[in-house]
Structure 1
């Protein structure tokens, strides 16, 4: 009798486990059904290529598109050009949505991230760009426990763009690049600062709580090991130019 009860209890929990696994699988499939995923990676960074694919698998993305990053002496300029080409590629292929990320992205809590992203996408909030990670600074507009509307959010770690917004973002990136070519040491023209102009007039949101960061690693752009973990887990910082 005791064995029967044990088996019955075990079977109940096993069925619940299977149900949750199937639910999560369907949840992931539906979430990325209309979102094309692209990651930016330098050919020389084989380590990062492996890392980003492993990270994307954590959120159910098994066949992302790899974009060969533009390699320039000026890393900031190469970064801007790489992101521009990704959005141009999305436009050319008429992607409904594109999720662009860099090869140092790290998902600290994939389940929570997917849950929050799904809640956001299922809401009635009108959006143009969704930042899945960011080095955010005050001020921002509180919305709910899923997102905030940003005005000063840096880093191009990962973001989702709507098809209707491609042209606007492309124009912003092109202007950023043109200005960087003229004034390469002006930080205000870097891609993740120049897009503040769009954040302040359009619908840009950051998913919260913050669970996505850039991993600590050697940066080909900064020419040194960088660690932005603390910055990317706090969205209440004061903006400093």
Structure 2
């Protein structure tokens, strides 16, 4: 069991997004001097940006597996931390249940979940992967991502909702996403605005995952019909297809 964080993390950054790296560099100052954050050049997919993001996470997890790392902390370049995040991460590690696979250190549009221990909640759905800790126990399941155009957060949520992994999050969170242009959504987006334009769609999207957990295909279909956003509707249909054919 991971009791202490290795003094390193990886930050995914598109080569042409120097603006984001400059802002992220300021966040690095919130960590101890001996904590090493490695810049990882994101895999760029201009046709399916969500696939590029997913492949970047998967590549880093492959590296962690090959190096026999007990866990890997992956950051995205739009992350914003509270003060002294390292101490908070170390504290929560010593309190994690033995069966944890993934710990989200900041999420959005996510039900608070079932309280397991102080500040630790189990969930079956979470949006965003700007600060996420993968345990070695989940490496192979993430690497098995089948190439369907699912966002990495949606793939993780699908695994959790179908009972294949144990997903937890820290509440209150220590990491947030900076407002800015999203290469995945192709719009200026602010997750911290509770009245963002996708608010209603995410209500039904959460319901899709609740229905996946219940294995209620009819209910999934009804919720999909309520979603207006093309991206979220397509993601939902991919997962419905996977569930219908009992795919991993």
Q: Normalized against structure 1, the TM-score is what?
A: 0.71
Query: Any unmatched runs of 5+ in structure 1?
Result: 1-29, 181-188, 232-236
Distance change in 2, residues 1:124/1:66 (3 Å): closer
Inter-partner Cα distance in structure 1 for 2:193 and 2:24? 20
SS at match of 1:154: coil
Measure, in 2, the Cα distance between the counterparts of 1:139 and 1:120. 17
- Residue 56, structure 1, aligned to residue 19, structure 2: no
Distance in 2, matches of 1:56 and 1:160, equals 17
Residues 136 and 150 in structure 1, CA contact (< 8 A), matched pair in contact too:
no
Counting only pairs closer than 5 Å after superposition, residues 219-234 of structure 1 correspond to structure 2 as 219-230=182-193
Q: Whose helix proportion is higher, 1 or 2?
A: 1
Q: Provide the rounded CA distance (Å) in 1 between the counterparts of 2:190 and 2:207.
A: 18
Partner of 1:192: 153
The correspondence for 2:172, drawn from 195, 209, 214, is 209
2:148 to 141, 155, 179: 179
| Mapped contact 1:35–1:97 kept (Cα < 8 A) | no
Matching residue of 1:47: 19
Q: Alpha-carbon deviation of 1:190?
A: 2.3
Aligned to 1:147: 120
Q: Secondary structure at the match of 1:143?
A: strand
Contact 1:139 1:151 (C-alpha < 8 Å) held by counterparts: no
Superposed CA RMSD in Å reads 2.3
Is 1:161 the counterpart of 2:151? The answer is no
* Match of residue 125 from structure 1: 97
- Deviations along 1:23-48, one digit per CA (max 9) or x if unpaired, are xxxxxxx954x253001001111121
Higher RCO structure (Cα 8 Å, ≥6 apart)? 1
Contact 2:72 2:133 in 1 (8 A): yes
Paired residues, number: 192
* Cα deviation digits, residues 146-190 of structure 1 (max 9, x gap): 11111111111111112232112211xx22xx222xxxxxxxx32
